[in-house]
Each structure stands twice: as structure tokens, then as C-alpha cells.
Structure 1
Amino acid sequence: MTTATTTRHAAGVADAVKVYGSGDTAVRALDGVSVGFPAGRFTAIMGPSGSGKSTLMHCAAGLDTLTSGAAFIGDTPLSTLDDRRLTLLRRDRVGFVFQAFNLIPTLTVAENITLPLDLAGAKGSREWIDALVDVVGLRDRLHHRPAELSGGQQQRVAVARAFAGRPDVVFADEPTGNLDSRSGEEVLNLLGRAVRRMDRTVVMVTHDPVAAAHADEVVFLADGRLVDRMESPTADKVLDRMKAFDTKGGRS
């Protein structure tokens, strides 16, 4: 006898449509996308420029609203939340890592990491923060300020800050875009360790096949539609799939 298992999704969208503008100038950035991002997994979103990958992330994270369809964090449909409750959800259940590090220059590394908790008036678990500091490898930098750190170290602080409140999901938008290849590799390995050693969930938008190869799965968008999924990606397999978009004349 076989037992069916149900995948729990940390976030996702259903029949997602996003249209910018109107009339002849309207742009359909998402065109009926349905995709779930499994909890405890590292998912990368890829596609040609203009494919809708960043729009998908922004709508799934509650940073932008859909024209139609639904976006969820866990079992919570974002469209049912007013501005205040949506803000609280993003604060308490979602973490963000962006290409720009967005650290507060006057705060130390330790203060930057715990900033979301401090702003929320919450007391995070000391054990959790200590474990997080060890995972990101910043214990000897806790009293430094951002200007005293390399770019890679600053992004590691940003990653630690994103995970500090134990969010349901962390969205990373081109997190290695401002880093050299070695620092980028360190940050990607860090995201992977957070998923596998701390049971976190990461959804990352990237244009880089090498970055995508760090994920458990890659979802591919083209012209605002979900066109493929790839388990256990490698850089070569992802690159080959992206070349197929060029061959088929995907929108640039």
C-alpha cells in the first residue's frame, strides 16, 4: 500500500496575472502562473530578461499586488490582508535579501542582524541568533560596522538579518549581483546551509546558472509563464535550458 504525501508550501501563487499599464501600452508581466515553493527547500527562479521572474517574487512576497489570481504565504492568502496586516506578515513571516546590502552604516554587525527583531519589539532566541552567527561565519566581526567589511561579508550580514526572526520564507533577489565570484559562492553556500542545517526556505531570483545550481530546484519563466522545472540542477543543465530560450526567441 502506498501512502500519499502532501508537499507543504511556504509560499506560492495560483493563476497569477500581473498587468502593468493599460490599453495599447499594457505589459502582461505574469500570465496565469501557478507555482508553489516547498517548505524546507531552496528554489531558484530563472528566465530571460523580461520573463517576469522578479515580478513573480515581488508578488509572492507581498511587495506587489496581483492584477488577478492569488498569492499565499503558507496558508494565508495575501489578498485578504489590509495594509497593516500585510506589513505585519512581511515583518514576522518573510525575510528579504537584495542585491544591495541595505545595512545601516551606524550600526554594528550584531545590531544590523537583530534590527528586524528590535523594530518589532521582539526578543529573538539567543540560541538561534548564536547559531545563525556561526552559520554565516561572522562571530569575529560582530562589533564591526559595515564600512569595515568586505562586500561578501556585508551580504552575509544581510542574510543573517533576513533569517533572524525565523521567517517562513526568505526571498533573495539577485543576492550575488554585487559580489565577485568567490564572495558570491560564499553567500550561495550560506543560503544552502541555512536551508539544510536550519530547516529554512529560500526562494531566489537569479540570472546566473552557477548560482541556480546551488538550489534544490529551478523554475523557469518565459513571457510571463511558467515553462519548465528542473530538480537537482547543475550549471551546465541550467545553461543549456536558458540557451533554448534564445533559440526559441524568448523575449529579451
Structure 2
Amino acid sequence: MTTLTPVGTSAARVVDAFKVYGAGDAEVRALDGVTVGFPAARFTAIMGPSGSGKSTLMHCAAGLDTLSSGSAFIGTTDLGTLGDRDLTLLRRERIGFVFQSFNLVGTLTVAENITLPLDLAGARPDTDWVDALIDVVGLGDRLLHRPSELSGGQQQRVAVARALAGRPDVVFADEPTGNLDSRSGAEVLNLLGRAVHEMGRTVVMVTHDPVAAAHADEVVFLADGRLVDRMTDPTAEKVLDRMKAFDGLAGAGAGRGTVS
């Protein structure tokens, strides 16, 4: 079992996490004994080859999917102890999400999309916080526009502001730059970095892109459903070199040794 971060500092973590699909000869272990914490007020990227389990890890850590065995925590809250209603409330109140496809509501304005999770929860927005977010994402002159009137990069910036509007404990971002050109992608990644380093938020991002991963404070690497390494202060070149090494490791069959 591999442990990467002290559990006491984690905004989110999984412990001895297994996720199994199918049975018998068709069984697939998407997660195979993973223990990892995502430190508070840090930007962590999750990387690995296709099929390594990185999106499964994020979905289980965020309560979007359930583990076959093991535990997932947001702060000190064990997600496995929550019923459907309490889990829904936790995701609404303590977690933000950013997806590759933006997931904005086309009939709502930018302003309405940003505050939508709060409106659905019946919560009153903190106007100072929301105004600060709008300033950070640079869309103050687009608040009355609909998503169809925005570029892809602008739509994703709205999605980031929406994810942060309720001051969540952690924001999970699944390939947030996958549908963007390099310039728009860099804008979104810089925005996520500012949310961490200037606003004290926690961001966990799944990506296949070494350039995107280089914006994080730390990268954790998966192969065959197992954690195999981590890297602090990443650069695109170092991440790419590490990924090339893991291609060979995965082909040889990675073990579940300890990563120090």
C-alpha cells in the first residue's frame, strides 16, 4: 500500500482504496490498494497512462462514485458513512467540480451560472467573495451573456468561478483544459493556481497533459490502478520523462511498493 501525504494535512484522501468492475475473467481493478492524501491549500495533479485509474480515483475521492472497499474522506468526514441525501449535501456544500465539457446551463447568464449551486442549495451568496471571483476570472463585462456568447476559455473560467463560489473545501477538476486551445488552457490553469495560492483553496486535477501538470505544486502518478510515484515542483519536461518511464513500468507490471 502506497502513502504519499500525511493524512492530518489532507483536504481529501482515500485509504486502501479498491475499485473493481466486473467479476471473474472480466474483473478489472481500476484502483488496487491506493492510499493518498491531497494537501489543503495545494494544487495537486493526477497523471497516468490511459486506463491507469486516475479519473476513477478522482471520482471516488469526490463522492461521485463509491469504492468497492477502502475509505474516502473529505476532511475528517468518511464518505462511506453517508446516505445518499447527506452525500449530496456534502458535495453541494464542500466540493466544487470543473469538467472538460464546462457543463454550464445554456439558458442562464454568466452571473446566474456562477451562483447556481448556491441558488439550488437555498444559500445566500457571499457577495464580496463572488465579486472577487468575478474580478479574478476577468468576466465582469460578460455577466449578462449566455454561455453560447462566450469562447470556450471564457466558459471554462465561468465553470471555475462556479466551482469556487461556495468556498468549497476542495475543487476537483477533470481534464479542465481538454477542450481548450493552449492559450485558453493556460488562462484556466493560471486561474486554478491563483485560487490555491491567493485564495487558499485546494485543487485536485486529473490531466494527461504534462504542460497542464506543470502548473501544479505536486503530481502523483498512477499505473495499473496503483500509485507509483510523485513529483514536487514539476516541469513539463520532467513530467513527460517520468510518464515515458511509467510506460515501461506498466508494461512490466508495477508492484505496490512504498513511495517515499
Q: Same fold judged by TM-score > 0.5?
A: yes
1:245 Cα deviation from its structure 2 partner:
1.5
Which residue of the partner structure matches residue 106 of structure 1? 107
* Amino acid aligned to 1:239: L
- State the secondary structure of the residue aligned to 1:114: helix
Which residue of the partner structure matches residue 27 of structure 2? 26
1:248 Cα deviation from its structure 2 partner:
3.0
Which residue of the partner structure matches residue 248 of structure 2? 247
Matched, 1:125 2:151: no
Which residue of the partner structure matches residue 176 of structure 1? 177
- The C-alpha deviation readout for 1:212-244, integer Å capped at 9, x for no partner, is 000000000000000001001000000000000
Alpha-carbon distance in 2 for matches of 1:224, 1:25: 16
Which residue of the partner structure matches residue 206 of structure 1? 207
> Considering only aligned residues, what root-mean-square deviation do their CA atoms show, in Å?
1.2
* Amino acid aligned to 2:222: L
Matched, 1:93 2:79: no
1:56 Cα deviation from its structure 2 partner:
0.2
- The C-alpha deviation readout for 1:13-39, integer Å capped at 9, x for no partner, is 000000001111010000000000000
Which residue of the partner structure matches residue 188 of structure 2? 187
Matched, 1:135 2:154: no
- Give the number of aligned pairs: 247
1:246 Cα deviation from its structure 2 partner:
2.0
Does the 8 Å CA contact 2:223/2:250 hold for their aligned counterparts? no
1:8 Cα deviation from its structure 2 partner:
1.8
1:53 Cα deviation from its structure 2 partner:
0.2
Segments of structure 2 that go 5 or more residues without pairing to the other structure are 1-5, 254-260
1:7 Cα deviation from its structure 2 partner:
4.7
Alpha-carbon distance in 1 for matches of 2:15, 2:74: 12
Alignment of 1:5-24 (within 5 A): 7-24=8-25
Which residue of the partner structure matches residue 56 of structure 1? 57
Alpha-carbon distance in 1 for matches of 2:164, 2:108: 18
- State the secondary structure of the residue aligned to 2:190: helix
1:72 Cα deviation from its structure 2 partner:
0.3
Alpha-carbon distance in 2 for matches of 1:178, 1:193: 21
Which residue of the partner structure matches residue 257 of structure 2? none
- State the secondary structure of the residue aligned to 1:200: coil
- State the secondary structure of the residue aligned to 1:133: helix
Does the 8 Å CA contact 2:7/2:13 hold for their aligned counterparts? no
* Amino acid aligned to 2:183: R
Taking structure 1 as the reference length, the TM-score comes to: 0.96
- The C-alpha deviation readout for 1:57-115, integer Å capped at 9, x for no partner, is 00000000000000000000000000000000000000000000111111110000000
- State the secondary structure of the residue aligned to 2:198: helix
- State the secondary structure of the residue aligned to 1:229: strand
Which residue of the partner structure matches residue 70 of structure 1? 71
1:6 Cα deviation from its structure 2 partner:
7.8
- The C-alpha deviation readout for 1:166-209, integer Å capped at 9, x for no partner, is 00000000000000010000000000000011000000000000
Alpha-carbon distance in 1 for matches of 2:247, 2:87: 38
- State the secondary structure of the residue aligned to 1:32: strand
Percent identical pairs in the alignment equals: 81
Matched, 1:197 2:198: yes
Does the 8 Å CA contact 2:224/2:250 hold for their aligned counterparts? no
- State the secondary structure of the residue aligned to 1:248: helix
* Amino acid aligned to 1:35: V
Which residue of the partner structure matches residue 256 of structure 2? none
Alpha-carbon distance in 1 for matches of 2:7, 2:58: 23
Segments of structure 1 that go 5 or more residues without pairing to the other structure are none
